[in-house]
Amino acid sequence: MSQLSKDYARKARLRSLDTIAVKNNTSQDYIMWHDRLGAEPRRELVPKAQKDIGHGKGINHLPRFLAERYTTNMITQEITKISDEDWEKKKQQYRTLDETIQHAGQQIRTNDQKLWAEYFPKIWLGVVKKYGGDEIPEPEATQIPDTGDPLKDMMEKTSLADKTYEPQTKDTKTT
């Protein structure tokens, strides 16, 4: 393996451990399990929109690799929900089963870039802490590839993947 490849792999590994703020806009807690950071499976929770676990309502801080998995699942879930609702409305206009089957391909796809661009900033709030240091560099301008993975494409096209997370605080006045 060349030194350039080793450096890239090291940088990707370190970057995957950045801490990212993600938000759950649904009315259910999102629970996932992983064993990447140790031998025992760990439970990670992103609280429902009405619940606060110390980072704000519906917000949790996750390692980047989990934040990517969470973001992909949540956006896909939201698009699927929209698609199902849209299809339920549309299929009422078809009289026969053949017409319904013929038009079934007109559903909203889960890789629709417009919907990804709409939902990504609502779920992915930004970098809380860079692994190995607190300084978060400005996002680099790179060539935008089309990988076929909507999350990776969205993270490359927008600078939101490396944006610094700034929690919203309420201004309180003391008298």
Q: Which of 13-17, 29-33, 113-117 has the lowest mean pLDDT?
A: 13-17
pTM of the model: 0.70
The answer to whether residue 101 sits within a structural domain is: yes
Domain span at residue 93?
A: 12-162
Q: What is the mean pLDDT of the chain?
A: 79
The answer to whether residue 172 sits within a structural domain is: no
Instruction: For helices 150-157 and 113-123, give the axis angle rounded to 10 degrees.
Output: 70
Domain count of the fold of the chain? 1
The answer to whether residue 106 sits within a structural domain is: yes
The answer to whether residue 127 sits within a structural domain is: yes
DSSP 22: E
Confidence of residue 119 (pLDDT cuts 50, 70, 90): very high
Residue 175 neighbours by CB under 8 Å, 6+ apart: none
The answer to whether residue 1 sits within a structural domain is: no
Residue 24 neighbours by CB under 8 Å, 6+ apart: 30, 46, 47, 48, 49, 58, 59, 60, 74, 123
Tokens representing residue 98 in the block: 């053949």
pLDDT in tens, 42-66: 888 889 888 888 888 999 999 888 9
The answer to whether residue 143 sits within a structural domain is: yes
Q: What is the C-alpha to C-alpha distance for residues 37 and 84, in angstroms, rounded to an integer?
A: 36
